Amino acid sequence: MKKSIVLPFLLLAVACGRNVITTEDGDGYRIVHQSQGPDLGVSPESGVMLLQADGFAFKDLNKNQVLDPYEDWRLPVRERAKDLAGRMSLEEICGLMLYSSALTLKEAEITDDQLKMLETDHIRHMLIAGVKDARTAALWNNRVQAWCEATALGIPTNNSSDPRNYTNGTANINNYKPELDGEFNPDAGSDISKWPREMGMAATFDLDVVRQHGEMVSAEYRALGITTALSPQVDIATDPRWRRFYGTFSEDPTLCRDIARVYCYAFQTTPGSPTGWGMQSVNCMVKHWPGGGSGEGGRDAHFGIGKYAVYPGGNFALGLIPFVEGAFALPGKTRRASAVMPYYTISYGQDPSGVNVANGFSHYIIQDLLRDKYRYDAVVCTDWGIVGEYEKVYKHKGKPWGVETLSLPEKRLKCFEAGVDQLGGVKDNENSIAAYHLWEEKYGAESARERFELSAARLLVNIFNVGVFENPYVNVDQSVEIVGCKEYTKAGYEAQLKSVILLKNAGGVLPKVNGPERRWKVYEPLRHVPAELTHWQKPTPAYDEYPISQSLLGSYFDVTDRPEEADFALVSIKSPVGHWGYILPDKQYPDGHYQPISLQWGPYTADKARAVSLAGGDPTESSANRSYKGFTETSSNESDMELVRNTRSLMGDKPVIVYVATERPFVPAEIEPYADALLMGFGVSNNAILDLVSGAAEPYGLLPCQMPADMDTVEEQGEDTPHDMRCYVDSEGHCYDFAFGLNWKGVIRDARVKKYAKTK
């Protein structure tokens, strides 16, 4: 290789042929600008110097005063990644193949626990959950990256995030309000732009909204120092009982496919880049291969009770469509989502060899299908905690479905043999090194090094692609300006408005537009929230609430607590909070028992459930039959149904408007007859609901799912089959089927409906 020249770090301007180099000081780092090359970010404390070759500047990350291939930004990233992987120690490679558990950034300093992950376990993939604010996140990123830059090879961190740009579904404030002429609401503040949940994005049936979301949210991520999105979740939600239903893009493979393609393209693309990648790119880790929406009985695979995905309709291949035709077939130069996460489930009965293990341990699911058949050559990262210790089917601990009895190193070896590159939510390196030695014993030392270097190179490609080897630092002041800025917040709020679905509007009772001589008077009943165990088995106390704050409601209408004085009532409730499908051990059922998951508020007895489950079996269970036939379930928020009915009685003939904050489909029969107008939304602020009720905006959303006529049709539908339920028909004669929705004129029949509605 041509000998390089070490440049003085404090250079101000260097003219190297036509490449002009200048420097700019940042907060704890320095930026080296090049007119014909990438910006280089360097910490003065790291010991990294600049190298000059052919008139260009490079970072001497390993501090050997030689321009090594991995330091040369002109080379293809795969060549750089392969070179660097070959220089890494066993400990460094195994650490790279780990993904931290969720971190909450309360301060900008590196904590002792974080330092252990970085230094002892060599972790370079950090999952960022909560952050105090944008400034804290940006400062923390810069300090972590400076620490990494000072290490032997200077490998930066690849920080990531689960979806974070959503309201809690009942937020009473929002930065952007149309009536303020585009200005910020002075009573609110936003830490980040707020968009509808994924199912709400699907309810817009609008790919322009998806594209805008991807472009803006990825800009906020980069401002926070985040370079990987643990999204999108493109499982087709074929079973309406699944707890993660709201996090998908509908039950329809075609709509999911189209959204996945636009979403990943928008997140990953840096405009104008010859490769598509660059400093505006965010890696997408698409999930959950090969689709997790068909858990038997709708149960969730975070627990052993939901470990089996079943395919009574023979529709395993449908779940692959959003991946192979969507996330793996992007229109731009990044080509495909740069990482894939398999789901926790055992894809029961799909492996031709007859082996039934979770997807992350399955050679058939990962190597034979994903890699060999569909030619996916990028990163595969397991879902969080699958290689952990296991106790009981109802305990939220490790999730090693199908390999529960293996040792911790053996579980990791099983993943690596299946074709996995990375272990999600694992921060100890010791057992990965032990798994490496198990590979050595089984296949030989040369094979072990080759196999682990392969995964390291795949992981490094994604870090190189987003430019952080050249500049991992973010401008703190710019981060504060970008995250939650007016433009992004306005777009997110407008997407919320577009996502709300109007199901019923009898007699045109909506909108309630205030006039110059009349201001409508509204009654909002107090909602009771009973004590319950959450899905994660944590107790929550009972309380009463006004779902929409009285002050916010009063900014739209006059408010009264006397139904007889009101012009109309506005009742805000939640979709049925069905339990998780299992009765914990008690006196009646000392070993526990399976139970139905209900989509109605009132009591439901599963008389039409299977007498014998399609799948079952667990080392801690005495029976493989997981049937719940004849068992009864009552949603913990049955009082929401009673609230609607009681309000109808109190209001007499005056209009009752019901809004359902929705996480998954529900049986409308329990509330629709008592409502004059019925709206539903997936993760939108109360401002958006009030803007629609008051006529400041017009409904636009369409049903991204079928609404069942009753629970019998839910039991009779196939967990793996979309669009297979009898849909509810309301008092107006409207069928609540996929792609149905109303605006002020009536049933929406626009281009979106023509494109996606299913004909029967």
**Cis omega (within 30 of 0) on the bond before 472?**
no
Peptide bond into 232 cis (omega under 30): yes
CA 514, 516, 518, 519 torsion-angle sign: positive
DSSP 28: S
Nearest to 19 by CA among 3, 39, 37: 37
Residues in CB range of 141: below 8 A, 6 or more apart: 157, 159, 224, 225, 472, 473, 474
φ, ψ of residue 745 in degrees (nearest 5):
-90, -20
pLDDT of 532 reads: 85
> What is the pLDDT, as a whole number, of residue 538?
85
3-state secondary structure 685-712: CHHHHHHHHCCCCCCCCCCCCCCECCHH
Q: What is the DSSP letter of 358?
A: B
pLDDT of residue 534: 80
Can you give the length of the chain in residues? 760
C-alpha–C-alpha distance, residues 348 and 371, integer Å: 20
454 forms beta bridges with none
Instruction: Say if residue 72 is exposed, middle or buried (CB neighbours under 10 Å; 0-12, 13-18, 19+).
Output: middle
Q: Is 747 helix (H, G, I), strand (E, B) or coil?
A: strand
Nearest-angstrom CA–CA distance, 329 and 344: 24
pTM: 0.95
Only one residue has tokens 């993660």, namely 244
For residues 265, 269, 275 and 280, what is the CA-based torsion angle, rounded to 10 degrees?
A: -160
**What pLDDT score was predicted for residue 473?**
98
Neighbours of 518 (CB within 10 A): 9
Cβ count within 10 A of residue 192? 23
Please report how many Cα atoms fall inside a 13 Å half-sphere around the Cα of residue 285, on the Cβ side: 27
Q: Please report the pLDDT score of residue 179 as a whole number.
A: 45
> Which residues lie closer than 8 Å to 252 by C-beta, 6 or more apart?
236, 704, 722, 723, 738, 756, 758
- The pLDDT of residue 1 is 42
Residue 531: both structure tokens together: 């004590």
Q: What is the pLDDT, as a whole number, of residue 8? A: 52
H helices present in 574-637, as ranges: none
Reduced 3-state DSSP string for 483-502: CCCHHHHHHHHHHHHHHCEE
- The DSSP string of 315-332 is -GGGGGHIIIIIITS-SS
Please compute Rg for the chain using Cα positions.
Answer: 27
Q: 375 pairs with which residues across the strands? A: none
Residue 576 near residue 612 (C-beta atoms within 8 A): no
The CB-side HSE value for 247 (13 A sphere, CA atoms) comes to: 18
In whole angstroms, how far apart are CA 668 and each of 80, 689, 738? 57, 19, 15
**What are the average pLDDT values for consecutive 10-residue runs of the chain, which has 760 residues?**
50 62 92 97 96 96 98 98 98 97 93 96 96 95 98 98 82 47 42 94 98 98 98 98 96 98 98 97 98 97 97 98 98 97 98 97 98 98 96 93 97 98 96 98 98 98 98 97 94 96 98 93 96 83 94 95 98 93 94 96 97 96 96 96 98 98 97 98 94 97 98 98 98 98 98 85
Going along the chain from its start, the domains and CATH numbers come out as 5-75 (no CATH), 489-533+546-577+639-756 (3.40.50.1700)
pLDDT at 169 (0 to 100)? 56
Alpha carbon distance 531, 637 (integer Å): 9
- Looking at residue 759, its pLDDT comes to 57
Question: In the prediction, which pLDDT does 535 show?
Answer: 78
**Distance in angstroms (rounded) separating the CA atoms of residues 760 and 235:** 24
Q: What is the pLDDT, as a whole number, of residue 172? A: 55
Q: DSSP character for 446?
A: H
Element (H, E) at 570: strand 568-574
SS3 164: coil
